Amino acid sequence: MRLPRRTPYYAAATDELTYVHSHLYGDRSDAKGVDAALGVVRLWMHRGACPQAVESTALLVESIRLDQAHAPTYGVRATYAMALTRFVNSVADSFQTGMYAQSIGAIAERIGLPQWLVQVRHSATHEELPSLEVCRDASAIALGWLDQHYWQPTLHTSLETDGDGGTHDGATADEAEQAWHTAACDRAAQLLLTYRNCAQAVRRDVSLAQRSSPPHEKALADVVAWLHDEAGRYAQLAVRFDTAERLSVGAMHADLEEAEDDMPAAVLPVVTLLITQLLVPGALFPADTKKRQSVGSVSLDDWAPLWDALLDRLQAEVPFFFPMLVDALIASPTYQSVAHAWVAWLAAREMTVPLGVPRWREGEDTVLTTFSSRGAQRVPLRRLVVQYALEADSEDWHVLAQSLSASDPVLKERVAQLCALRHVDEVTTMAPDACLAEMEARASTSSQPSLPVVTAMATEKEEEEAAAPGGWHRASAYVPTPIGCLAGERPSLLC
């Protein structure tokens, strides 16, 4: 559930934006209409939460109005320069969503903002003011870019403009994401195969590891580089379809509040895709896995060392990699023997991981806005493995959880209690007479503590309760009665 967001609009947002757009992009010789639209924008700015794209449009239009009024040239150039600078800065700031700050030029290239506008902004900020002709041309280009990337997608929500100026609907976005997913899967499979072959070659020939650039380290670096590159491509893919949203103040503030050590949302789908490729035969699962399916019959002493370096490096890059990998191994419906061996292998690592990590949801849209390891509570990886194993439905995973918790007395006792609860029958099939007989036997053998008898202060009600027959017995008559009612009679609600 999202908290309500403050809005500057009084009536329907689309109606008010349509009114302002029609005058700011309409006939500018209609001074009365343009002034009315600019007055509405000023009102929105006083109310707060006015979209930056609307403010930039108004500043550019006001600069043009001042130019048309034949104001002093230097003042007009300064007004143009300030409007263009605020426009470029506001657009660039709204797309600063990574862990590290990016240059304005890199962001402009990514979102389709003309580089010439970035150069004009640099000149106005650090060099001489641009000439009047340059300012006029830059303002026209900026207004056109705002109309294409903010006004039209906002006013016509059924059609969104892409980076090339065309239109697309939701199906086009799905097709683009599917194309990215297919290409990324193929590339991930190639990189993992290359890494495995290089690691096997180094194990066969130790002299390869003594080179200045060992082949397995080069393959490992390629996998890590692919992880970051694909996260950037996925972020660019999302940017193509939400430019208008990011130009609003709400999205801008949410992005600017992102901490430096937060994991961007684009990393999660890439990690999910990589784990999917790791769980195919030939990667973490040996190619001859199908021949050995019984739990406990698989040894990873010869196979796991091939992947240790890669897994440790991925965990160092992404703090929630190991928890997601363990969760995926436990959820894997096939190759249970190897999955058990890998989970035990990972649980043997003496390391801690942060709480609140995303869970494995294969085939579903897993959303992670940001993940921050700063200030997050950390727990041993073994405890997280035990938790995930206890949540599984298979009895074999419960046995593994008990074995992993054997070295911790407190954890061992808790796990034993939780496993015992799984064996309690929720619904009994015993006959009522057999249940009463068992309850009578328990009542006769149970030891009741001796209570002091206070005869001086005993009331009649206490004497009647003391004279009541002991043990269990079936009631003489039963009338279905709501809670709070006596003998089936409803009390008066008006008393």
From residue 124, alpha-carbon distances to 89, 129, 146, 158 in Å are 12, 5, 20, 38
pLDDT-derived band at 438 (thresholds 50, 70, 90) equals: confident
CA max distance for the chain: 108
- Whole-number pLDDT of residue 208: 75
pLDDT (0 to 100) of residue 427: 52
Total structural domains in the chain?
A: 2
Question: What is this structure's pTM?
Answer: 0.50
Phi, psi of 362 (to 5 degrees): -70, 130
At residue 475, the pLDDT reads 62
For 364, other C-beta atoms within 10 Å of its C-beta total 8
Beta partners for residue 167, in sequence order: 161
Give the pLDDT score at 493. 47
Token duo for residue 11: 């009536």
Residue 250 has pLDDT above 80, yes or no: no
**Is 458 a domain residue?**
no
Q: Is residue 467 part of a domain?
A: no
Determine the Cα–Cα distance for residues 438 and 260; give it in Å rounded to an integer.
Answer: 64
| pLDDT above 50 for 396 | yes
Quote the CA–CA distance of 176 and 181 in Å, as a whole number. 9
**152 and 226 part of one domain:** no
Neighbours of 216 (CB within 10 A): 22
CA-wise closest residue to 360 among 314, 392, 405: 392
Of 395, 423, 451, which residue sits at a domain end? Answer: 423
* Structure-derived torsion over alpha carbons of residues 179, 180, 185, 188, reported in degrees to the nearest 10: 150
Do 322 and 346 contact (CB within 8 A), yes or no? yes
In a domain, 476, yes or no: no
Tell me the backbone φ, ψ of residue 352, rounded to 5 degrees: -115, 150
The pLDDT score that the predictor gives to residue 460 is 56
User: Which has more pLDDT, 279 or 299?
Assistant: 279
CA dihedral 32, 33, 36, 40 (to 10 degrees): -170
216 and 334 inside one domain: yes
358 shares a domain with 239:
yes
Among 32, 35, 39, 40, CA closest to 15: 40
Structure confidence at residue 451 (pLDDT): 43
Q: State pLDDT tens for residues 270-281.
A: 888 888 888 888
| Main-chain phi, psi angles of 453, to 5 degrees | -95, 120
Asked if the model's pLDDT at residue 241 lies above 60, the reply is: no
Separation between Cα atoms, residue 43 and residue 73, nearest integer Å: 29
> How much is the pLDDT for 472?
60
Distance from C-alpha of 269 to C-alpha of 273, rounded to nearest angstrom: 6
Distance CA(72)–CA(232), nearest Å, equals 46
Residue 282: pLDDT band by 50, 70, 90 thresholds? confident
Exposed/middle/buried for residue 423 (C-beta within 10 Å: 0-12, 13-18, 19+): exposed
pLDDT of res. 424: 52
Which of 50-59, 85-94, 173-182, 219-228 is predicted with the least confidence, judged by mean pLDDT? 173-182
Question: Is residue 180, in this structure, part of any structural domain at all?
Answer: no
Measured between alpha carbons, how far is residue 220 from residues 152, 213, 225, 302, 491 in Å? 45, 11, 9, 19, 76
Position 329 in a domain: yes
- What mean pLDDT is predicted for residues 384-399? 83
Q: How much is the pLDDT for 82?
A: 93
Residue 398 has pLDDT above 50, yes or no: yes
3-state secondary structure string across 102-159: CCHHHHHHHHCCCHHHHHHHHHHHHCCCCCHHHHHHHHHHHHHHHHHHHHHHHHCCCC
Stretch 372-393: mean pLDDT: 78
Domain that holds residue 24: 13-160
pLDDT at residue 245 tops 80: no
Which residues lie closer than 8 Å to 491 by C-beta, 6 or more apart?
484, 485
Nearest-angstrom CA–CA distance, 202 and 117? 52
Residue 369 covered by a domain:
yes
CB 398 within 8 A of CB 390: yes
Q: Where are the alpha helices (DSSP H) in 332-431?
A: 336-347, 381-391, 395-404, 409-421
The pLDDT, as a whole number, for residue 186 is: 84
Band of residue 294 on the pLDDT scale cut at 50, 70, 90:
very low
Which residue among 136, 160, 184 closes a domain? Answer: 160
pLDDT tens per residue across span 443-461: 776 555 444 444 444 455 5
Q: For residue 199, with 0-12 CB atoms within 10 Å meaning exposed, 13-18 middle and 19 or more buried, which class applies?
A: buried
Residue 351 has pLDDT above 50, yes or no: yes
Of 160, 180, 201, which marks where a domain is finished? 160
Residues 108 and 240 in one domain: no
pLDDT band at 486 (very low <50, low <70, confident <90, very high): low
Grade residue 485 by pLDDT with cuts at 50, 70 and 90. Answer: low
Same domain? 98 vs 219: no
Say if residue 373's pLDDT is above 90: no
Q: Both 142 and 215 in a single domain?
A: no
Task: Check pLDDT > 50 for residue 291.
Answer: no
- Of 377 and 466, the structure prediction assigns the larger pLDDT to 377
Cα(364)–Cα(358) distance, integer angstroms: 13
- Both 273 and 398 in a single domain? yes
Burial label for 227, CB within 10 Å (0-12, 13-18, 19+), is: buried
Residues 374 and 270 reside in one and the same domain: yes
What are the pLDDT digits (tens) for 302-325?
778 888 888 889 888 888 888 888
| Mean pLDDT of the region 392-414 | 82
Angle ∠(143,145,149) on CA atoms, nearest 5 = 120
Judge if 19 and 156 occupy the same domain.
yes
Q: What is the DSSP letter of 454?
A: -
Neighbour-count burial for 287-323, b at 16+ CB within 10 Å, e otherwise:
eebeeeeebeebebeebeebbebbbebbbeebbbbbb
Identify the band that residue 157 occupies on the pLDDT scale cut at 50, 70 and 90: low
In a domain, 195, yes or no: no
Helix axes 395-404, 381-391, angle to 10 degrees: 160
pLDDT score at 170: 43
Sign of CA dihedral 435, 439, 440, 445: positive
pLDDT at 58: 92
Residue 258 pLDDT class (50, 70, 90 cuts): very low
Shared domain check, 407 and 337: yes
Does the pLDDT at position 400 exceed 50?
A: yes
Closest CA to 213 of 200, 222, 204: 222
Q: What is the residue type of 23? A: H
Mean pLDDT of the chain: 75
Clarify whether residues 231 and 133 are in a common domain: no
Coil, strand or helix at 263: strand
Q: For 18-41, what is the mean pLDDT?
A: 87
